[in-house]
């Protein structure tokens, strides 16, 4: 099976191939070969840590970017060895190799081979003393050679076992879990909790350290564990260990029916001299929808205990609904009581744990009125022709033929959550055009799947420079309005920007041009109408917080036919608009009052769009069950109680010439990755934003090169970098002197403006002093701290000083809270 590979900037057009593809499209439904997705084939591995089996890893058939593969961490043995289990699929393994890299992947520390173990035994990796001071962490890449000539790679961070309490923390988590599952009220688990209003005690879907003991003990659900509990070590250091458990349970609901539930359980634990402290706990529960008749009640499809938010689409009549539940895509037709399982990686019985890998997301792109669906699968591909790859697979489900056809696959060499973050900004497939639109890395691509042609529609798009409609079918993006380099470049550059508004389903669109000296900004869509703002450079000024601001003097709404529907301006009152929030049929305008070149807070304005939203005749609702708490259902206009739906599965069309796309996404500006509660929690452009998010999830912030920026609760109470005093040289400013001094650290400079003093002490604790501005023209270098004081060097005097923490906070506020950190 030959693949057509499209790479960024390369257009491949083969006339003969186009004729063949056209013929296939014309004859589709009569000559297409139907294939089965097949069972998983790639082996899975795990590790033994003091006799505990942890960190099961799925394999990758491509070499992945090492800094982007941050997930588990595995402690080595005291003798530098690591025992590894070959799990499902191990009979195909013919050889074992390993490589050890720096966290940023730039340096290879070691490579070697391991002997194949006898059946039922573990392989032993002899890593020796590869981790020595100051190197505490590295990345282990295990390569398995298989009998079918494939090289499959696996990735985990490794760490020295010094000062770790992984065994003790794991034992506590397993005991806590077992007692909670048993509903053991005598176990006194409440002593580890912090009950409070932070938790929602009306649901069992999410339970945390602030929940009441009834919810911790599963209430009346009577859980029974199905299969094994899988344990992953997410973080481990001398202060705490983070663990994630994933498993399935059978639970009994209010009606006495038993269902299968997916469980994800997170622990952050501190162990000190025989005493255990549970710092964080979070358990998420989701019922697996199986299409049984018990789910079809008088008010609609009852999903039970699942997240409140669920993606669904419906046709105009409300007789067909598509929904995603538990990473499975379903279609239901009320008129014929037909239920179709459109897509699922899980095998029929869910018996093969590899098919239940949760590192993927299914999203509906669009659904037509007949029930045909375009959808995408992001992340790790559990099985099928892309098994062991990461990316976004674009599919089209033909309702008439009950077939699913892959239209394209966008590959990635990053971890599943990062790939989803990068590729999930916008992927839209138009069946009518056979056209794929992808926005990733700030670049908007238009890909003609029929002709194999790729066009870049826009580059350098950042947040705020584009807007997408709720249904994903309309896109507006900013154009810079400048001309390419040439004899008129100087005259035309700097002209007002424009906006291209594009209907992705039809490919048609229009342009909104800015007046001379002005710019236009895409703000969003409301009921299919486009909302944008107009701004002038002459209105730029200073915001209430002291930063620069360029507000809008008018907001306008235009119809899909490019006609003005409404406009809103308060300029005659000296009021300008800074942003717009669109929710349902309501626009909320954020506003400021102008006073010269300064702006002060003003009240918001609320605007209702004249055009009413279409009545979908189908809604997603929550309701309360007697003892099971909050439940979710999809409610239809007419009752479907007593329905005995016929359940169908789709056939997958064999791909004669699948389109594989390598967009070569560049990282561009530095990104900051927040890991918390056992997963990637956020990707931020700002280090300060990342720290605030990590504070919320008790997490970790790292750069794209895996340098630690911040960790919750992992710093010494007293620390000094022992930095020597220094003074300005020549005509240097104090800031320039601090920056010159920091060059010797060979560290990465990051802007921490917006963080608190307490937060940035972590950076100092990692061994690098910190620059703080105390005024617009004066900077000092913070070099150490205690529980009460801060030590700093003033380049103006060349001397070191120690002041109280509150005094330093006041000094920093005088400089606008501008903080510059260094990490390595």
- Classified as helix, coil or strand, 734 is helix
Beta bridge partners of 221: none
CA distance 649 to 525: 36
What are the tokens at 336? 């014929």
- Over residues 161-166, the mean pLDDT reads 92
Predicted local confidence at residue 610, as pLDDT: 64
Name the CATH topology of 717-823: Cathepsin B; Chain A (3.90.70)
Q: Per-residue pLDDT for 24 more than 50?
A: no
User: Quick one: pLDDT band at residue 484, thresholds 50, 70, 90?
Assistant: very low
Backbone angles phi, psi at 790, to 5 degrees: -125, 135
Rounded to an integer, what is the distance from CA 704 to the centroid of its chain? 14
Please give the pLDDT value at position 615.
58
Task: Give whole-number Cα distances, 809 to 152, 409, 603, 704, 813, in Å.
Answer: 52, 52, 31, 30, 6
Report the pLDDT value the prediction gives residue 120, as an integer from 0 to 100. Answer: 87
Residue 29: pLDDT over 80: no
Q: Are 421 and 411 in contact (CB under 8 A)?
A: no
Average confidence (pLDDT) over 400-407: 93
Instruction: Give pLDDT, residue 10.
Output: 34
Tell me whether strands 799-804 and 629-636 are parallel, antiparallel or unpaired: unpaired
Query: Across all residues in the chain, what is the average pLDDT?
Result: 89
Closest Cα partner for 319 from 637, 71, 608, 546? 637
In the CATH scheme, what is the homologous superfamily, with its name and number, of domain 45-159? Immunoglobulins (2.60.40.10)
What integer pLDDT is reported at residue 505 of this predicted model? 93
Distance CA 179, CA 174 (A): 9
DSSP summary character for residue 118: P
The pLDDT confidence band at residue 16, using thresholds 50, 70 and 90, is very low
Q: Name the phi and psi angles at 51, rounded to 5.
A: 85, -5
Strand 151-159 with 73-75, pairing: parallel
Does the structure show a pLDDT above 80 at 228?
Answer: yes
Region 254-276: mean pLDDT is 93
Query: CA separation (Å) from 763 to 46, 133, 155?
Result: 33, 19, 27
For residue 645, pLDDT beyond 80: yes
Q: How many CA atoms lie within 13 Å of 607's alpha carbon, on the beta-carbon side?
A: 21
H or E, element range at 806: helix 805-814
- Cα–Cα distance measured from residue 732 to residue 781, given in angstroms and rounded to the nearest whole number: 15
Mean pLDDT computed over 37-65 = 95
Q: Are 784 and 808 in contact (CB under 8 A)?
A: no
**SS3 assignment, position 281:** strand
Q: Pairing relation of β-strands 338-343 and 646-649? A: parallel
**DSSP letter string, 587-650:** EEEEEEEEETTEEEE---EEEE-SSPPP--SEEEEEEEETTTEEEEEEEESS--TT--PEEEEP
Question: What band does 609 get if pLDDT is binned at 50, 70 and 90?
Answer: confident
Span(s) in the chain for CATH 2.60.40.10: 45-159
Q: Is the pLDDT of residue 495 over 70?
A: no
Cα–Cα distance for residue pair 483/143, rounded to 1 Å: 50
Mean pLDDT of the region 65-87:
96
How deeply is 756 buried, as exposed, middle or buried, from its count of CB atoms within 10 A (0-12, 13-18, 19+)? Answer: middle
Percent of the chain whose predicted confidence (pLDDT) is above 90:
73
What is d(CA 398, CA 293) in angstroms, rounded to the nearest whole number? Answer: 25
Mean pLDDT, residues 632-650: 82
SS3 letters across 442-498: CEEEEEECCCCEEEEEECCCCCCCEEECCCCCEEEEEECCCCCCCCCHHHHCCCCCE
Q: Is pLDDT of 18 > 70?
A: no
The tokens for 316 are 């105009």
Under the banding of pLDDT at 50, 70 and 90, the label for residue 348 is: low
Give the tens place of pLDDT for each residue, 411-453: 999 999 999 999 988 899 999 999 999 998 889 999 999 888 8
Residue 310: pLDDT over 70 = yes
pTM score, two decimals? 0.89
| Model pLDDT for residues 96-144, shown as the tens digit of each residue | 999 999 999 999 999 999 999 998 899 999 999 899 876 789 999 999 9
Cβ–Cβ < 8 Å for 711, 270: no
Asked whether residue 146 carries a pLDDT value surpassing 60, the answer given is: yes
What sign results for the dihedral spanned by CA atoms 77, 79, 84, 85? Answer: negative
The answer to whether the CB of 251 falls within 8 A of the CB of 223 is yes
Determine contact, residues 7/664, Cβ cutoff 8 Å. yes
pLDDT at 312 over 80: yes
User: What is the Cα–Cα distance from 329 to 366, expressed in whole angstroms?
Assistant: 13
Q: Nearest-CA neighbor of 651 among 341, 382, 377?
A: 341
- With a cut of 70, say whether residue 410 has pLDDT above it: yes
**Contact, 733 vs 129, CB < 8 A?**
no
More confident residue, 511 or 90: 511
Is residue 542 within a helix (H) or strand (E), and if so which, with residue range? strand 541-542
Say whether pLDDT at 482 is over 60.
no
At residue 638 the predicted structure's pLDDT band, cuts being 50, 70 and 90, is confident
Instruction: Report the pLDDT value the prediction gives residue 30, as an integer from 0 to 100.
Output: 38
Q: Does position 20 have pLDDT exceeding 80, yes or no?
A: no
pLDDT band at 92 (very low <50, low <70, confident <90, very high): confident
The architecture in CATH of the region 166-287 reads Roll (3.10)
Residue 614 structure tokens: 């279409």
Other beta carbons less than 10 A from residue 572's beta carbon? 6
pLDDT greater at residue 289 or residue 545: 289
pLDDT of 614 > 60? The answer is no
**pLDDT band for position 25 (cuts 50, 70, 90):** very low
DSSP secondary structure, 167-205, as one string? HHHHHHHHHHHHHHHTT-GGG-GGGG---STTS-TTBSS
Query: How far is it, in rounded angstroms, from Cα 390 to Cα 65?
Result: 11
β-strands 708-711, 700-703: how paired? antiparallel
Query: What three-state secondary structure class fits 218?
Result: coil
pLDDT tens column, 459-474: 988 888 999 998 889 9
Rounded Cα–Cα distance for residues 821 and 748 (Å) = 8
């Amino acid at each position: 099976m030959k693949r057509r590979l499209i790479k960024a900037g390369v257009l491949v057009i083969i006339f003969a191939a186009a004729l063949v593809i056209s013929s296939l499209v014309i004859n589709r439904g009569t000559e297409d070969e139907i294939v089965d997705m097949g069972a998983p084939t790639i082996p899975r591995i795990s590790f033994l840590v003091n006799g505990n089996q942890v960190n099961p890893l799925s394999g990758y058939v491509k070499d992945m970017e090492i800094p982007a593969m941050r997930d588990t961490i595995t402690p080595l043995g005291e003798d530098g060895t690591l025992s590894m289990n070959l799990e499902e699929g191990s009979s195909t393994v013919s050889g074992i190799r390993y490589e050890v890299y720096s966290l940023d992947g730039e340096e290879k520390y070691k490579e070697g081979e391991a002997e194949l173990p006898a059946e039922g035994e573990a392989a032993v990796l002899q890593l020796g003393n590869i981790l020595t001071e100051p190197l505490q962490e590295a990345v282990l890449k295990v390569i398995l050679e298989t009998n079918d000539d494939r090289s499959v790679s696996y990735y985990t961070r490794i760490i020295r076992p010094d000062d770790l309490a992984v065994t003790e923390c794991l034992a506590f988590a397993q005991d806590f879990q077992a007692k909670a599952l048993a509903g053991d009220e005598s176990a006194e688990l409440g002593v580890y909790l912090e009950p409070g209003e932070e938790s929602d005690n009306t649901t069992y879907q999410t339970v945390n350290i602030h929940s009441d003991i009834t919810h911790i003990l599963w209430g009346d659900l009577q859980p029974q564990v199905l299969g094994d509990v899988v344990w992953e070590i997410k973080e481990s250091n001398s202060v705490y260990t983070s663990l994630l458990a994933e498993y399935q349970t059978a639970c009994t609901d209010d009606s006495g029916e038993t269902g299968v539930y997916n469980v994800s359980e997170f622990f952050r634990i501190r162990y000190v001299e025989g005493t255990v402290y549970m710092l964080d706990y979070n358990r998420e529960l989701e019922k697996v929808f199986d299409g049984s008749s018990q789910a079809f009640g008088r008010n609609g499809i009852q999903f039970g205990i699942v997240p409140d938010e669920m993606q669904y689409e419906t046709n105009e009549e409300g007789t067909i609904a598509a929904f995603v539940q538990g990473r499975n895509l379903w279609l239901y037709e009320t008129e014929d009581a037909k239920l179709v399982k459109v897509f699922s990686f899980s095998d029929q019985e869910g018996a093969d744990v590899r098919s239940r890998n949760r590192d993927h997301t299914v999203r509906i792109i669009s659904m037509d009125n007949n029930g045909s669906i375009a959808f995408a699968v992001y992340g790790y591909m559990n099985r099928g022709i892309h098994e062991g790859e990461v990316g976004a697979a674009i599919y089209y489900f033909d309702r008439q033929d009950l077939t699913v056809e892959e239209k394209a696959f966008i590959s990635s060499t990053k971890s599943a959550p990062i790939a989803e973050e990068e590729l999930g900004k916008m992927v839209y497939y138009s069946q009518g055009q056979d056209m794929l639109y992808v926005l990733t890395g700030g670049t908007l691509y238009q890909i003609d799947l029929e002709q194999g042609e790729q066009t870049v529609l826009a580059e350098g798009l950042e947040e705020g420079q584009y807007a997408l409609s709720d249904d994903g079918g309309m896109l507006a993006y900013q154009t810079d309005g400048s001309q390419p380099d040439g004899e008129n470049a100087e005259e035309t550059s700097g002209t007002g920007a424009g906006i291209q508004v594009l209907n992705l389903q039809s490919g048609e669109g229009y342009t909104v041009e800015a007046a001379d000296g002005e710019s236009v900004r895409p703000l969003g869509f409301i009921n299919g109408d486009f909302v944008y703002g107009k701004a002038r450079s002459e209105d730029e000024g200073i915001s209430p917080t002291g930063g620069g601001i360029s507000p809008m003097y008018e907001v306008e709404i235009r119809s899909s036919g490019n006609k003005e529907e409404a406009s809103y301006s308060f300029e005659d009152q000296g009021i300008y608009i800074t942003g717009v929030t669109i929710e349902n049929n309501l626009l909320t305008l954020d506003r400021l009052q102008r006073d010269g070149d300064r702006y002060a807070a003003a009240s918001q304005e609320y605007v209702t769009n004249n055009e009413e939203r279409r009545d979908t005749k189908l809604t997603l609702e929550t309701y309360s069950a007697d003892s099971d708490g909050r439940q979710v259902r999809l409610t239809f206009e007419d009752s479907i109680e007593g329905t005995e739906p016929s359940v169908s599965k789709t056939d997958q069309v064999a791909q004669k010439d699948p389109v594989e796309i390598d967009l070569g996404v560049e990282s561009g500006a530095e990104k900051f990755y927040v890991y918390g509660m056992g997963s990637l929690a956020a990707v931020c452009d700002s280090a300060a934003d990342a720290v605030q998010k990590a504070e919320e999830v008790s997490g970790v912030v790292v750069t794209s090169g895996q340098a630690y920026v911040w960790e919750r609760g992992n710093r010494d109470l007293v620390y000094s970098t022992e930095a020597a005093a220094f003074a300005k040289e020549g005509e240097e400013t104090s800031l320039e002197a601090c920056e010159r001094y920091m060059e010797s650290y060979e560290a990465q400079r990051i802007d921490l403006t917006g963080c608190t003093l307490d937060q940035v002490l972590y950076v100092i604790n990692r061994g690098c002093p910190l620059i703080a501005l105390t005024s617009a023209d004066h900077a000092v270098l913070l070099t150490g701290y205690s529980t009460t004081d801060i030590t700093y060097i003033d380049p103006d005097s060349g001397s070191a000083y120690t002041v109280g923490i509150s005094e330093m906070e006041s000094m920093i506020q005088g400089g606008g809270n501008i903080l510059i950190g260094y990490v390595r």
